[in-house]
Amino acid sequence: MKHKVFIPIALSVSLLLGFDVQEMPSVQERVFPDIGQTKVYSFNSSIEEASKVVVNISTQKKIKNQMSNHPMFNDPFFQQFFGDFYNQIPREKVERSLGSGVIISNDGYIITNNHVIDGADKVIVSLPGSNKEYQAKVIGTDSRTDLAVIKIEEKNLPAVKFADSSLVKVGDLVFAIGNPFGVGETITQGIVSALNKNGIGINDYENFIQTDASINPGNSGGALVDSRGALIGINTAIISKSGGNQGIGFAIPSEMVKRIAKQLIENGTIRRGYLGVGIQDVSTDLRDTYGNHEGAVIISLEADSPAKKAGLAVWDLITKVNDRPIKSSAELRNLIGTMSPNEKVTLTYIRDKQEKTVTLTLAESKDTKGSSKANKKETNGTQGLDGVSVQELSPQIRQRNQIPRDIDGVLVNNVNEESKAYESGLRSGDIIGQIENITIKDLASYKKALEKFKGKSKRILVYSQNGIKTIVIK
């Protein structure tokens, strides 16, 4: 819940009412500059306040000298032979790293990247325009979003105001603010290049804002702000072969930052909401099925999960969460992952080309990643789909291929490389678990499904070595 009217009170008595952040009003319009011969187009007044909330973070980590662990290093003869040289060999060294952070409350809470402070024995914070150093306390970390909260003992600090990152548009003017030690405050300017970037392989939960504003390694944990100086993201990474800026930088959206920071400050750890579904994007083959709607296609449901109990089914297309549009499976995963257990959510979904809604209560994620493997071939099988040979999952096959008991279907022995099934992505070792609305448990149900949908385009749920997927065979 957002307490817009009582923000100063909420910040001053955070222990009583829970932590909250200061927020900017929603953007109402976007304007062109009004300039003339006696005017200079400048954002100095906009970013002046924002630059005061970005701090320098330096860390120290003690690393043991690997040589000191060698058996010879502790041998008396070795010590006597090398004498003074032996005593000069350091037993450990101090590794230092630098980064940036953003003050999010008047009483010293600071958000930064987890990788900036990960494993540090000491975290030192320097405020902009000051030589005074503060030893910070680590409040909580979340490696899966690469965010962390630290705190310094100081009052009446300037704090950043949060913008709603869901309202950011491609082409919006942005500024990347960092405070790498030795260089001081740095501000670079660019535009939003892309939104909702995922699959980069940096974090588990990825929903990045991409910008061409120069972001260099020392700026990790710094602020990405709009032309008002409002925070729209925390700078986290760059893509570069040289290590310097090449116009591709990523920031964690402010809405995700706000949710993670609030949980870390109030609980010291992250408890993630759990829906209990396996999901995928709407592939090109599936677009006609869902009337060109965007969203996340359900391809599996966990037993006793909130989704299962609420009556959701495989191939339902989730299009909204609490009326917020969902454009991809990554967006749904990120949104649910930043919600709290026991939080009620209303899902909008499409089933059989009809829009439906359901309200459910999220469970708590245990952050486990299931996998199913079925990668060995059997020699004999039964023909069904053209060019596809399958076999029932006997106890021996399950044991041999380590197939979980909760996975039913038929095992694909062989797929002709010239068949439509192969073109659609079906491979040897896959398990066919469902064809349209028919669950496949054995060869009989497999044949029944193929007979029912003979000559028609059909969705097929497949368990593969790389996870669960939906293929369409026409």
Predicted confidence at residue 319, as pLDDT, reads: 93
Q: Would you say residue 390 lies in a domain? A: yes
The partner residues of 61 in beta bridges, in order of sequence, read: 95
My answer on whether 459 and 332 are in the same domain is no
Predicted confidence at residue 77, as pLDDT, reads: 54
Q: Would you say residue 157 lies in a domain? A: yes
Give the global pTM: 0.63
Q: Would you say residue 9 lies in a domain? A: no
My answer on whether 259 and 285 are in the same domain is no
- Domain end residue (candidates: 364, 398, 422): 364
CB neighbours of residue 323 within 10 Å: 8
Q: Would you say residue 42 lies in a domain? A: no
What DSSP string runs through 431-444?
A: EEEEETTEE--SHH
My answer on whether 142 and 254 are in the same domain is yes
| Gap between the Cα atoms of 473 and 282, Å rounded | 15
Backbone dihedral region for residue 77 (phi beyond 0: left; psi -120 to 50: alpha; all else: beta): alpha
Kindly provide the b/e burial profile for residues 246-270, where b requires at least 16 CB atoms within 10 angstroms of the residue's own CB. eebbbbbbbbbbbbbbbbbbeeeeb
My answer on whether 254 and 281 are in the same domain is no
Predicted confidence at residue 452, as pLDDT, reads: 86
My answer on whether 170 and 138 are in the same domain is yes
If 0-12 CB within 10 Å is exposed, 13-18 middle and 19+ buried, where does residue 111 land? buried
What DSSP string runs through 115-176?
A: HHHTT-SEEEEE-TT---EEEPEEEEEETTTTEEEEE-S-SS---PPBP-GGG--TT-EEEE
Predicted confidence at residue 292, as pLDDT, reads: 83
Q: Which residues of the chain are modeled with pLDDT < 70?
A: 1-17, 61-97, 181-183, 199, 201, 238-247, 367-384
My answer on whether 299 and 261 are in the same domain is no
- Domain end residue (candidates: 249, 270, 291): 270
My answer on whether 197 and 211 are in the same domain is yes
| Gap between the Cα atoms of 300 and 279, Å rounded | 7
Task: Determine phi and psi for 188, rounding to 5 degrees.
Answer: -125, 155
Dump pLDDT digits (tens) for 58-109: 887 665 555 555 555 555 555 555 555 555 555 555 556 678 999 999 999 9
Contact 397, 388 (CB under 8 A): no
Task: Determine phi and psi for 404, rounding to 5 degrees.
Answer: -55, 150
Predicted confidence at residue 74, as pLDDT, reads: 53
Q: Domain span at residue 280? A: 273-364
CATH of the domain at 163: 2.40.10.120
What DSSP string runs through 103-131?
A: E-STTSEEEEEHHHHTT-SEEEEE-TT--
The number of distinct structural domains making up the chain is: 3
Contact 112, 125 (CB under 8 A): no
My answer on whether 203 and 289 are in the same domain is no
CATH of the domain at 432: 2.30.42.10
- Domain end residue (candidates: 270, 303, 320): 270
My answer on whether 451 and 313 are in the same domain is no
My answer on whether 293 and 263 are in the same domain is no
My answer on whether 154 and 259 are in the same domain is yes
Predicted confidence at residue 100, as pLDDT, reads: 92
My answer on whether 227 and 250 are in the same domain is yes
Q: Would you say residue 1 lies in a domain? A: no
Which residue numbers are catalytic? 115, 146, 220
Dump pLDDT digits (tens) for 255-290: 999 989 998 999 888 888 889 998 888 888 888 888
